[in-house]
Amino acid sequence: MTTTKPINLLLVDDSRIARLSLSRQLKSLGLELNLLEADSADAAESLLQSQAADIALIDFNMPGRDGLELAEALNARFPQLRMALVTANIQDALAQRARGMGMAFLPKPTTAEQLAAFVCQEA
Protein backbone atom coordinates (compact mmCIF):
# COMPACT_ATOMS: atom_id res chain seq x y z
CA MET A 1 0.00 0.00 0.00
CA THR A 2 1.43 3.35 -0.98
CA THR A 3 0.60 6.56 0.69
CA THR A 4 1.23 9.89 -0.92
CA LYS A 5 2.22 12.82 1.17
CA PRO A 6 0.36 16.09 0.72
CA ILE A 7 1.85 18.69 -1.60
CA ASN A 8 3.08 21.70 0.36
CA LEU A 9 2.03 24.63 -1.79
CA LEU A 10 3.01 28.22 -0.99
CA LEU A 11 0.74 31.06 -2.16
CA VAL A 12 2.43 34.46 -2.18
CA ASP A 13 0.19 37.42 -3.00
CA ASP A 14 -0.34 40.72 -1.23
CA SER A 15 -4.08 40.49 -1.99
CA ARG A 16 -6.02 38.39 0.51
CA ILE A 17 -8.81 38.06 -2.07
CA ALA A 18 -6.38 36.73 -4.69
CA ARG A 19 -5.02 34.19 -2.20
CA LEU A 20 -8.57 33.15 -1.32
CA SER A 21 -9.47 32.72 -4.99
CA LEU A 22 -6.36 30.63 -5.70
CA SER A 23 -7.00 28.59 -2.57
CA ARG A 24 -10.58 27.82 -3.64
CA GLN A 25 -9.48 26.81 -7.12
CA LEU A 26 -6.73 24.59 -5.74
CA LYS A 27 -9.06 22.91 -3.25
CA SER A 28 -11.52 22.21 -6.09
CA LEU A 29 -8.87 20.01 -7.74
CA GLY A 30 -9.33 17.30 -5.12
CA LEU A 31 -5.61 17.03 -4.46
CA GLU A 32 -4.09 16.49 -1.05
CA LEU A 33 -2.61 19.93 -0.43
CA ASN A 34 -1.13 21.71 2.54
CA LEU A 35 -1.57 25.39 1.68
CA LEU A 36 0.87 27.92 3.09
CA GLU A 37 0.13 31.62 2.58
CA ALA A 38 2.25 34.76 2.64
CA ASP A 39 1.36 38.35 1.77
CA SER A 40 4.87 39.49 0.79
CA ALA A 41 8.28 38.26 -0.28
CA ASP A 42 9.63 38.79 3.24
CA ALA A 43 6.74 36.88 4.80
CA ALA A 44 7.26 34.02 2.33
CA GLU A 45 10.96 33.72 3.16
CA SER A 46 10.21 33.87 6.87
CA LEU A 47 7.57 31.13 6.53
CA LEU A 48 9.98 28.89 4.63
CA GLN A 49 12.44 29.04 7.52
CA SER A 50 10.10 26.78 9.48
CA GLN A 51 8.03 25.02 6.80
CA ALA A 52 9.00 23.33 3.54
CA ALA A 53 7.25 23.92 0.23
CA ASP A 54 7.19 21.77 -2.90
CA ILE A 55 5.52 24.35 -5.13
CA ALA A 56 5.15 28.14 -4.97
CA LEU A 57 2.60 30.32 -6.77
CA ILE A 58 3.97 33.86 -6.65
CA ASP A 59 2.36 37.16 -7.60
CA PHE A 60 4.53 39.66 -9.45
CA ASN A 61 3.34 43.05 -8.19
CA MET A 62 3.79 43.24 -4.42
CA PRO A 63 5.02 45.94 -2.07
CA GLY A 64 8.73 45.62 -1.40
CA ARG A 65 10.35 42.95 -3.54
CA ASP A 66 8.46 41.75 -6.59
CA GLY A 67 7.73 38.14 -7.44
CA LEU A 68 10.79 37.67 -9.64
CA GLU A 69 13.09 38.99 -6.92
CA LEU A 70 11.50 36.55 -4.48
CA ALA A 71 11.81 33.71 -6.99
CA GLU A 72 15.50 34.46 -7.46
CA ALA A 73 16.09 34.31 -3.69
CA LEU A 74 14.04 31.12 -3.32
CA ASN A 75 15.78 29.44 -6.24
CA ALA A 76 19.15 30.06 -4.57
CA ARG A 77 17.99 28.49 -1.30
CA PHE A 78 15.58 25.84 -2.59
CA PRO A 79 16.64 24.77 -6.11
CA GLN A 80 14.07 21.93 -6.21
CA LEU A 81 11.14 24.28 -5.50
CA ARG A 82 8.82 24.47 -8.52
CA MET A 83 7.53 28.00 -9.01
CA ALA A 84 4.97 29.79 -11.14
CA LEU A 85 4.54 33.53 -11.55
CA VAL A 86 0.80 34.18 -11.22
CA THR A 87 0.04 37.72 -12.32
CA ALA A 88 -2.35 40.03 -14.12
CA ASN A 89 0.73 41.74 -15.61
CA ILE A 90 0.79 39.68 -18.80
CA GLN A 91 3.52 41.46 -20.75
CA ASP A 92 5.53 39.15 -23.00
CA ALA A 93 8.80 40.45 -21.57
CA LEU A 94 7.73 39.53 -18.04
CA ALA A 95 6.60 36.06 -19.13
CA GLN A 96 9.95 35.54 -20.88
CA ARG A 97 11.87 36.64 -17.77
CA ALA A 98 9.88 34.22 -15.62
CA ARG A 99 10.39 31.34 -18.04
CA GLY A 100 14.08 32.24 -18.31
CA MET A 101 14.29 31.67 -14.55
CA GLY A 102 12.66 28.25 -14.92
CA MET A 103 9.25 29.41 -13.71
CA ALA A 104 5.87 28.72 -15.24
CA PHE A 105 3.78 31.77 -16.14
CA LEU A 106 0.08 31.77 -15.25
CA PRO A 107 -1.98 34.84 -16.16
CA LYS A 108 -4.65 36.08 -13.74
CA PRO A 109 -7.40 35.30 -13.48
CA THR A 110 -6.30 31.70 -13.36
CA THR A 111 -8.48 28.72 -14.06
CA ALA A 112 -8.57 25.47 -12.12
CA GLU A 113 -7.41 23.72 -15.29
CA GLN A 114 -4.29 25.92 -15.54
CA LEU A 115 -3.48 25.33 -11.89
CA ALA A 116 -4.01 21.58 -12.23
CA ALA A 117 -1.70 21.43 -15.24
CA PHE A 118 1.06 23.15 -13.30
CA VAL A 119 0.58 21.49 -9.91
CA CYS A 120 0.18 17.98 -11.32
CA GLN A 121 3.06 18.08 -13.81
CA GLU A 122 6.00 15.88 -13.10
CA ALA A 123 8.92 17.64 -11.45
pLDDT tens digits for the chain (123 residues)?
A: 445 789 999 999 999 999 999 999 999 999 999 999 999 999 999 999 999 999 999 999 999 999 999 999 999 999 999 999 999 988 899 999 999 999 999 999 999 999 999 999 864
For the entire predicted model, the pTM comes to 0.93
CATH number of the domain that 61 lies in? 3.40.50.2300
Domain assignment present for 42: yes
Per-residue confidence (pLDDT) for residue 106, from 0 to 100: 95
Domain assignment present for 1: no
Q: How many domains does the chain have?
A: 1
The residue range of the domain holding 81 is 7-118
Per-residue confidence (pLDDT) for residue 1, from 0 to 100: 45
Residue 12's closest CA among 53, 28, 29, 30?
53
Strand order in the sheet with 82-87: 33-38, 7-12, 55-58, 82-87, 104-107
